[in-house]
């Protein structure tokens, strides 16, 4: 447990290369991340626009709940017994 394995050294090396690998690396990475977030938000907005249905000038069909028989009236309470 006291030593570092090869995977630890690879991860440390990758972090060092990203941070100190050259001029403007971090700003380039952050710019790419910002572009990705911006395009993701744009894609969500376009999807929302497609999902919206323009309101129709005609009203929706109306369903009347009318009963025509006596059996459809309010049921009588149960008799306990």
Helix and strand totals (H; E) in the chain? 2, 0
What CA–CA distance (Å, rounded) separates 12 from 22? 16
Provide the residue-wise pLDDT of the chain in tens; the chain has 81 residues.
Answer: 567 889 999 999 888 887 777 667 777 878 888 999 999 999 888 877 776 666 666 666 666 666 665 555 566 667 765
What angle do the packed helices 6-20 and 25-51 form, to 10 degrees? 90
Cβ atoms of 41 and 48 closer than 8 Å: no
Q: What are the φ and ψ backbone dihedral angles of 72, each rounded to 5 degrees?
A: -85, -5
What CA–CA distance (Å, rounded) separates 78 from 80? 6
pTM, full prediction = 0.36
């Amino acid at each position: 447990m006291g030593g570092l394995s090869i995977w630890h050294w690879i991860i440390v090396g990758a972090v060092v290369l990203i941070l100190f690998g050259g001029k403007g690396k971090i700003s380039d990475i952050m710019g790419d991340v910002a572009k990705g977030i911006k395009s993701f938000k744009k894609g969500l907005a376009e999807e929302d626009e497609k999902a919206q249905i323009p309101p129709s000038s005609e009203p929706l069909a109306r369903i009347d709940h009318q009963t025509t028989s006596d059996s459809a009236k309010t049921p009588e309470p149960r008799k306990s017994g």
